Homo-oligomer: A and B are copies of this chain.
Amino acid sequence: MVIVTKTTIPQSHLDSMIEEFKTKGFELNIIRGKDSIVIGLIGDTHALDADRLLLNPDVERIMRVQEPFKKASRKFHPMNTSIKVGNASIGDEKSFVVMAGPCSVESKEQILTVAKSVKESGAAILRGGAYKPRTSPYSFQGLELEGLELLKEARRETGLPIVTEIMSPHLVEIFENNVDIIQVGARNMQNFDLLKELGKTTKPILLKRGLSSTIEEWLMSAEYIMAGGNPNVILCERGIRTFETYTRNTLDLSAIPAVKKLSHLPVVVDPSHSAGINWMVESLSLAAMAVGADGLIVEVHNDPKSALCDGAQSLDLDQYANLMKKLGAMSTHFGKQM
**Which chain A residues have a beta carbon within 8 Å of chain B's beta carbons?**
2, 4, 29, 31-36, 38, 40, 42-43, 46-47, 49, 51-56, 60-61, 63, 65-66, 68, 75, 133-139, 167-170, 187-188, 190-193, 196, 210-212, 214-217, 220, 223-224, 227-228, 240-247, 250-258, 261, 274-280, 283-284, 286-292, 304-305, 307-314, 329-330, 333
A contact face: mostly helix, strand, loop, or mixed: mixed
Count of identical protomers in the assembly: 4
- What are 29 A-B pairs with beta-carbon distances under 8 A? A33-B43, A35-B66, A35-B75, A38-B65, A47-B138, A52-B305, A52-B311, A55-B304, A133-B190, A133-B192, A136-B220, A137-B228, A187-B190, A187-B192, A191-B191, A212-B243, A214-B246, A216-B246, A240-B244, A241-B243, A243-B243, A246-B254, A246-B258, A250-B252, A251-B254, A254-B275, A256-B283, A257-B279, A283-B290
User: Chain B contacts of A134 at CB under 8 A?
Assistant: 192
Whether B311 lies near A55 (C-beta < 8 A) is yes
Q: How far is the CA of A138 from the CA of B67 in the complex (A)?
A: 13
CB proximity of A152 to chain B, nearest CB, Å: 22
Closest to A304 in B: B55
User: Chain B contacts of A333 at CB under 8 A?
Assistant: 329-330, 333
Whether B305 lies near A280 (C-beta < 8 A) is no
- Given A51-B310, A289-B290, A329-B333, A215 and B244 touching (CB < 8 A)? yes
* A196, A257, A313: residue with the most chain B Cβ atoms closer than 10 Å: A257
